[in-house]
Amino acid sequence: MALLEVDNLQTHFRTPDGGVNRAVDGLSFSVEAGETVAIVGESGCGKSVTSMSILRLIPEPPGKIAGQIRFNGKNLLEMSDREMRAIRGNEISMIFQEPMTSLNPVLSIGNQIGEALVLHQGLSKREAEAKAVEMLTLVGIPAPDKRVKEYPHQLSGGMRQRVMIAIALACNPKLLIADEPTTALDVTIQAQILDLMRDLKHRVGAAIVLITHDLGVVAEVAERVIVMYAGRKVEEAPVGELFNNPKHPYTKGLLGAVPKLGSSLTGESTRLAEIPGLVPSLKNKIQGCVFAGRCPEATELCREINPALELKAPRHQAACHYATKEAVAA
Amino acid sequence: MSMTMGRSPANPSAPAGRPLLEVNDLKKHFPIKAGFFGGKTGNVYAVDGVTFHINKGETLSLVGESGCGKSTVGKTLLRLYNPTDGQVVLDGQRIDDLSEGKLRPVRRRIGVVFQDPFSSLNPRMRVRDLLAEPIRNYGLAKNGADLQARLDKLMDTVRLPRDAVNRFPHEFSGGQRQRICIARALAGEPELIICDEAVSALDVSVKAQIVNLLQDLQKDLGLALLFISHDLAIVEHMTHRVAVMYLGKIVEIAPKRSLFAAPKHPYTEALLSAVPVPSPGQARKRIILKGDVPSPIKPPKGCRFHTRCPYAFDRCRVDEPRLQQTSPEHWSACHLHDLPAAENPLARDTVLYS
Task: Please tell me the predicted confidence (pLDDT) of residue B13.
Answer: 52
pLDDT digits (tens, 9 = 90+) for B295-339: 888 889 999 999 999 999 999 999 999 999 988 889 999 999 998
In this complex, the residue of A186, A258, A273 whose CB is nearest that of residue B278 is A258
Task: Please tell me the predicted confidence (pLDDT) of residue B109.
Answer: 92
Bridge partners, residue B94, by sequence: B89
**pLDDT of B3 over the 80 cut:** no
Q: Name residue B354's amino acid.
A: S
Flag whether B290 is in a domain: yes
Flag whether B46 is in a domain: yes
Is there a contact between A213 and B204 if contact means CB atoms under 8 Å apart?
yes
Cβ pairs bridging A and B (under 8 Å): 137
- Give the model's confidence band at B8: pLDDT under 50 very low, under 70 low, under 90 confident, else very high: very low
- Taking the Cβ of residue B209 and every Cβ of chain A, the question of whether any pair is shorter than 8 Å is answered with yes
- Give the model's confidence band at B22: pLDDT under 50 very low, under 70 low, under 90 confident, else very high: very high
Is there a contact between B232 and A257 if contact means CB atoms under 8 Å apart?
no
Is there a contact between B354 and A262 if contact means CB atoms under 8 Å apart?
yes
Task: Please tell me the predicted confidence (pLDDT) of residue A327.
Answer: 65
Flag whether B143 is in a domain: no
Q: Give the contacts of B132 (CB within 8 A, at least 6 positions apart).
A: B141, B147, B151
The 3-state DSSP class for residue B122 equals: coil
Is there a contact between A194 and B276 if contact means CB atoms under 8 Å apart?
yes
CA–CA gap between residue A75 and residue A53 (Å, rounded): 12
pLDDT digits (tens, 9 = 90+) for B128-179: 999 999 999 888 888 899 999 999 999 999 999 998 899 999 888 888 999 9
Question: What is the extent of the structural domain holding B290?
Answer: 2-109+190-276+283-343
- Give the model's confidence band at B16: pLDDT under 50 very low, under 70 low, under 90 confident, else very high: low
Flag whether B306 is in a domain: yes
Q: Helix B174-186 crosses helix B127-137 at what angle (to 10 degrees)?
A: 20
Please list the pLDDT of chain A residue by residue as tens digits (330 residues).
788 999 999 999 888 888 888 889 889 999 998 899 999 988 888 888 899 899 988 888 788 889 999 999 889 888 898 999 888 888 999 988 777 788 888 999 999 999 888 988 888 888 898 989 988 888 888 888 888 899 988 887 778 888 888 888 888 888 999 988 887 778 888 888 888 888 888 888 889 999 998 888 898 889 999 999 988 999 999 999 999 999 999 999 888 888 888 777 776 556 888 888 778 888 877 888 889 888 888 888 888 888 988 888 888 999 998 888 776 654
Task: Please tell me the predicted confidence (pLDDT) of residue B123.
Answer: 92
CA–CA gap between residue B103 and residue B219 (Å, rounded): 27
DSSP string, A174-243: SEEEEESTTTTS-HHHHHHHHHHHHHHHHHH--EEEEEES-HHHHHHH-SEEEEEETTEEEEEEEHHHHH
Is there a contact between A274 and B212 if contact means CB atoms under 8 Å apart?
yes
Give the gap in angstroms from C-alpha B144 to the nearest C-alpha of chain A. Answer: 32
- Taking the Cβ of residue B34 and every Cβ of chain A, the question of whether any pair is shorter than 8 Å is answered with no
Give the gap in angstroms from C-alpha A284 to the nearest C-alpha of chain B. Answer: 18
In this complex, the residue of A188, A240, A274 whose CB is nearest that of residue B289 is A188
The answer to whether B41 and B34 have CB atoms below 8 angstroms apart is: yes
> What is the average pLDDT across B220-236?
91
* Three-state SS annotation for A118-183: HHHHCCCHHHHHHHHHHHHHHCCCCCHHHHCCCCHHHCCHHHHHHHHHHHHHCCCCCEEEEECCCC
CA–CA gap between residue A63 and residue B140 (Å, rounded): 51
**B-chain residue closest to A243, CA distance:** B279
The answer to whether B27 and B208 have CB atoms below 8 angstroms apart is: no
Task: Please tell me the predicted confidence (pLDDT) of residue B275.
Answer: 86
> What is the average pLDDT across B247-256?
93
Flag whether B126 is in a domain: no
In this complex, the residue of B173, B270, B278 whose CB is nearest that of residue A216 is B278
The 3-state DSSP class for residue B219 equals: helix
CA–CA gap between residue B347 and residue B305 (Å, rounded): 19
Number of domains present in the structure of chain B: 1
- For residue B98, CA distances in Å to A256, B77, B78 come to 46, 12, 12
Mutate to test the interface with A, among B199, B203, B285, B308 (most CBs of A within 10 A): B203
Q: Is the peptide bond before B169 cis (omega within 30 degrees of 0)?
A: no
Q: Per mean pLDDT, which range of A59-68, B43-52, B122-131 is the poorest?
A: A59-68
**B-chain residue closest to A155, CA distance:** B292
- Taking the Cβ of residue B271 and every Cβ of chain A, the question of whether any pair is shorter than 8 Å is answered with yes
Give the gap in angstroms from C-alpha B281 to the nearest C-alpha of chain A. Answer: 7
**Using CB atoms and an 8 Å cut-off, which of residues 233-252 of chain B contact chain A?**
233-234, 236-237
- Taking the Cβ of residue B254 and every Cβ of chain A, the question of whether any pair is shorter than 8 Å is answered with no
Flag whether B182 is in a domain: no
DSSP string, B163-203: GGGGS-GGGS-HHHHHHHHHHHHHTT--SEEEEESTTTTS-
Give the gap in angstroms from C-alpha A263 to the nearest C-alpha of chain B. Answer: 7
Is there a contact between B208 and A214 if contact means CB atoms under 8 Å apart?
no
- Taking the Cβ of residue B227 and every Cβ of chain A, the question of whether any pair is shorter than 8 Å is answered with no
**B-chain residue closest to A265, CA distance:** B257
Mutate to test the interface with B, among A147, A187, A282 (most CBs of B within 10 A): A187
**pLDDT of B91 over the 60 cut:** yes
**Using CB atoms and an 8 Å cut-off, which of residues 123-182 of chain B contact chain A?**
173-175
Residues of chain B with pLDDT > 70, as a percent, come to 93
Task: Please tell me the predicted confidence (pLDDT) of residue B279.
Answer: 81
Give the gap in angstroms from C-alpha B22 to the nearest C-alpha of chain A. Answer: 26
Is there a contact between B274 and A187 if contact means CB atoms under 8 Å apart?
yes
Flag whether B265 is in a domain: yes
Here the CATH number for the domain that contains residue B17 is 3.40.50.300
The answer to whether B200 and A186 have CB atoms below 8 angstroms apart is: no
Flag whether B100 is in a domain: yes
Task: Please tell me the predicted confidence (pLDDT) of residue A250.
Answer: 92
Is there a contact between A260 and B260 if contact means CB atoms under 8 Å apart?
no
- Taking the Cβ of residue B65 and every Cβ of chain A, the question of whether any pair is shorter than 8 Å is answered with yes
Give the gap in angstroms from C-alpha A221 to the nearest C-alpha of chain B. Answer: 9
Task: Please tell me the predicted confidence (pLDDT) of residue B283.
Answer: 63
Q: Chain B residues with CB inside 8 Å of A276's CB?
A: 209
Burial (0-12, 13-18, 19+ Cβ within 10 Å), B8: middle
Q: Chain A residues with CB inside 8 Å of B354's CB?
A: 262
**Most confident residue range from B30-39, B257-266, B277-286:** B257-266
> What is the residue-averaged pLDDT of chain B?
87
Nearest to B161 by CA among B132, B140, B183: B183
Is there a contact between A258 and B205 if contact means CB atoms under 8 Å apart?
no
